[in-house]
Amino acid sequence: MANTKSIPSFGFLSGLKVFSTGTVVAAPYATALFAENGATVIHAESSVAPDTCRAIKYAWNQEHRNELGLAINIPTPEGKEIFFKMIKWADIWIESSKGGTYSKWGLTDEVIWEQNPKLVIVHVSGFGQEGDPAYTSRASYDAIGQAFGGYMFVNGLPEPNPPMRAVPYTCDYVTALNAAWAALAAYMKAKETGKGESIDIAQFETMTKIQLHYPMTYLNDGKLLERNGNDDPKFAGYSAYRCKDGNYVFIGLVGGGPMKRALPLLGLEGDPDFPKGIQLALKNTSAGDKLTKAIEDYCAQYSAEEVDANLMKADVPCCTIFNLKMMSENSHFKAREVFTEWDDAQYGKVKGVNVFPRAKNNPPKIWRGAPLYGQDNADVLKEFGYSDDEIDGLYEKGILKAGEGCH
């Protein structure tokens, strides 16, 4: 168990105070990055039920390291009292819920700013706080954001195959990254002006924002771009290919240099469809069809490791499509310490993905594993002025809750 004084000083964000009431991934991953880079993060789950992320083995444990954990019933009078104490303390508050949830509880931005005028508020929801009421009140998950934001439509194999969601939780993670940078940018401005900010992040909009030329192609030309699976929509030789050992490589044959160096390996040097200086081969052309077949035939002769090595030796863009077994055994992953080990309150010694990003002067680190459900209720509330008797009373009323061994 711990409180804010337990947190060591390290990282880019040492001294930053963050209160988090988000659920699953879309908001919590933002605060996870803050905590791993030195911020003091108090994360509050609902005492009505634990975060559903806990139902996925290791998910909570990977994404809530370095945080202080509470479990409180915010909409109750006693819960609001705790909530306001956290709000007065925090520099940033990040929440995720259906649009308007906190306003329905009487916790509008304006009410919250009465407690802390400099506070940066980040609302994360599926459809936003404002807009068509038929949508803003909808519940959302990662896949819903991908579906409504148009991202799912452009992923997957061509028709008649159905669109596919990008896994795992791509929408949630992209939303969280946007929440993180927006919160920090607004915090910088709040320090300058003394006035807080309220940020409205909708999952679906984060998906619409990362589609490169797809939206403009429709909005200006009226053309819906089709799904292509792993293939590039225009270029041959830019896809995933199965190798002799059943593993896969991704090859990107685009550009004069890579084409020039790859053609001899593929037996296409001197072919009239591949004149000197050719930059690329378009799909559905003689050159494109020949290139695709040549790559498939070449990969069928070698293991993925051999194809990777042969093409890399020729300086042709290629990479084995790694699974986690390959990643854990790979020399580069080991050299960069992508995976690490730490002590977890639930499972003991565990291995998982290391903190990020790497930094020379103010590196991130893991100082504790993810908290158990309500693990830090007592220590944190005592720090915020509650007595033992008051805390016991909050447990008796169900305002606070904790997992086994935490109270």
* pLDDT tens readout for residues 244-273: 999 999 999 999 999 999 999 999 999 999
Indicate if 260 and 168 belong to the same structural domain: no
Indicate if 75 and 190 belong to the same structural domain: yes
Domain of residue 297, residue span: 238-242+248-320
* pLDDT tens readout for residues 56-113: 999 999 999 999 999 999 999 999 999 999 999 999 999 999 999 999 999 999 999 9
Contact 398, 47 (CB under 8 A): yes
Q: What is the pLDDT of residue 77?
A: 97
> Is 40 inside a domain boundary?
yes
Q: What average pLDDT does the structure give for the chain?
A: 96
* pLDDT tens readout for residues 295-324: 999 999 999 999 999 999 999 999 999 999
Query: Could you say which DSSP state residue 159 is in?
Result: T
Distance in angstroms (rounded) separating the CA atoms of residues 406 and 69 = 11
Q: What is the pLDDT of residue 405?
A: 61
Query: Which stretch of DSSP H or E encloses residue 198?
Result: strand 197-202
- Active site residues per annotation: 172
Number of domains in the chain: 2
- Beta pairing, strands 92-96 & 120-125: parallel
Indicate if 314 and 340 belong to the same structural domain: no
Indicate if 151 and 9 belong to the same structural domain: yes
Above 80 in pLDDT, residue 284? yes
CATH number, domain with residue 373: 3.40.50.10540
User: Which of 320, 347, 377 is the C-terminal boundary of a domain?
Assistant: 320
> Is 55 inside a domain boundary?
yes
Q: What is the pLDDT of residue 1?
A: 74
pTM exceeds 0.75, yes or no:
yes
Average pLDDT over residues 204-217: 96
Indicate if 69 and 175 belong to the same structural domain: yes
Taking alpha carbons only, the member of 162, 46, 145 closest to residue 105 is 46
> Is 271 inside a domain boundary?
yes
Taking alpha carbons only, the member of 396, 397, 395, 317 closest to residue 70 is 395
Four-CA torsion 98, 101, 103, 106, nearest 10 degrees: -170
